[in-house]
Amino acid sequence: MAATTKQIAMAAAALIAVLSAPAFAADAGAYVFGSAGLTNYGSFDPDITGADSKKTGSYGVKGGGGYLFNLGNFKLGGEGGYVDLGKAKFTFAGQEVSVKAIAGYIAAIGVLPFNDQFSMHLKLGLASGSSKVSTPVGSSSGTSITPMYGIGGQFEINRNFGIRAEFEAYEAGKKGDANDPNDFNTLAKINMLSAGMVYKFGN
């Protein structure tokens, strides 16, 4: 479901508060990350049904960065990134239809360290997800701003490098008109399971 103006405003206000409020907190610092993993196109609206065959699993990559503040035993901050969510493929009477999606997101992130090496994190924000549906007779592209979330963990190799693994949920594209034969758009729900490296500055 696409985010309303109120949802967008609330998320933006929350993120601004996260980034500006901790004047009393010690900086945990900035970081960048890069990851790769598996994606799965779970559902579509309108639904893509009647396919002779389908391949909804794909590969994705992402990169981005963020900033964390120390709040006692907890860390809170903001993160943004770009995600290539791969491609789903369907075959109808020998003709291939594909759905390719990308997304950019901004989110608030909370980190709970268990010790000096292991931590878990939760992030919640908004994603601008775009998809292109290609068919033998034409194509359609669409974008929607929708909520996204992620949960994962991180292992610190040393003061600067870490390994992150996480699960994230996105939506991409826009809901098409099932009664319009020239509108191929669909809003896809896509999950991503990834692992990659994190580099922390200033440590």
The model's pTM: 0.81
pLDDT band at 167 (very low <50, low <70, confident <90, very high): very high
Mean pLDDT along residues 191-195: 97
Distance between CA atoms of 80 and 57, rounded to whole angstroms? 25
State the amino acid at position 142 in one-letter form.
Answer: G
* pLDDT tens digits, 42-76: 888 777 666 677 888 999 999 999 999 999 889 99
Domains belonging to the chain, first-starting first, are 5-200 (2.40.160.20)
* pLDDT tens digits, 98-141: 899 999 999 999 999 999 899 999 999 999 999 998 888 888 88
Distance between CA atoms of 169 and 159, rounded to whole angstroms? 29
Burial of 111: CB neighbours in 10 Å, binned 0-12, 13-18, 19+:
buried
Print the SS3 string covering 132-171: EEEECCEEEEEEEEEEEEEEEEEEECCCCEEEEEEEEEEE
